[in-house]
Structure 1
């Protein structure tokens, strides 16, 4: 079965490279015709993933209709833009296996990527590929393990199709846990980056990560997630990577907030919008999420990083 990767950012490009190293029927689609022609000529995506060469078998195209002829389509579209993309191209994506490769909660609807696909294109098999990964590692063929979540009837064939010698996939039917683990860890990564950027130290980051993980569990389990999913790659694994590496965009964004330095506005930081969306969800369901609420308040400029930390430290003492 053929595969198309829609979205030629760093992660989409990396997936296309690693899959086409193992298969011959992979297409990478990008909207920008000029960028596509450049990639076709240079056989690399210098703007998003420098030094990663394209395999000869990888097709790069700006023809969406042609790309959507594939049976399996990986949607590497930012979460906040996913619903609009699906609405605009619903006919092309009808009755396909659609795999969301993005993390977050839609600010307008409160839905995760799988829920967004299912509500927009009910005929599709909606899945999500998520977990601890950096695009440069995947493109370089470094060992990476991810979670594939979706309906059980399509998971094992899809797992086989998307696995490569360096990319190992584990499957689960717990799409809620996979969605929320990947979404919420970005918010905690922003908080972790802010703690380091503001000079609060490694111990503060450890506290943010640990108490942040408790918040992830509280909300996700209340919404139907399984605890073992949150303890796996798409939850704890992704949290550990994103909160401890300067290569994480969410951590780097938080660091810039804490250090009061500039951040590249051209980079997508899924956790920024997700913080507000999750804060709204938590209030709706009566879930206590002080770190998430603090991040949302910082981004809305209601609090400074120092004020947010003071407020968190001053919370009533309680049992862990």
Structure 2
């Protein structure tokens, strides 16, 4: 049996390692090397956002998926000629191309400034672009810590069991998020990003057609909403059909997601669990009552998310092309 003292020491050293890397991040990291980085990224992101709103949820989801697997190192951006990169895993294959395109276009804009060429990491550009799409969609703007380096490793196998699934319970969500130093409140706030999210019918098909032998429809799902979902997702629906995760204000980053949970209108089981479980319900109610409270919690949570598994100093590299290692 493992020695409890050794386990405790290992956990402590792991946390120390994480904190020392994230401590090297700072908001003014590029003040001497690329002072205009934020305006360059913002301009490119805004242009892409005006072309398609999908830019916002796609970029936000890309950032989350990147940080949760190998840390915030843009490894999710790497392409593999044999289909064995992170982005090729089933949990990542649905990542919308507009998210990748946003980062690529922002990288090109940054590198077009001679002072900035190959000075800013793809990981930092993704972090900045995420902040910008949230603000463009009506959410809070916030300062972004910078100084991440790009990872050189991206494997399909590494994604397995690393991302939350639509049928997760509160315990499963808390276990996964806490492994990255995120609290239950952080998890609920980050789930609020679903306010501008979308999904495909296959991800919640069971909830509306064959939940259990006793209930064809998940009893925690609002009955009227369930029938609306059935209309949008008939049994032989095209799998490419996208459904808004917030049926009330799908193109506004606000607290309507939490108000919907109070009405039984969470699209995923993992969404609705935040309200049906009495341990997390008070936080849902707090965010539903105050958009400002949600905004503050989201900024705190996404800042912490941006520190997960970062590479700094001499670790990794500054990629010239976000889709391939140098």
Indicate whether the TM-score tops 0.5: no
**More strand by percentage:** 1
Q: Which has the higher contact order (CA 8 A, sep 6+)?
A: 2
**TM-score, length-scaled by structure 2:** 0.25
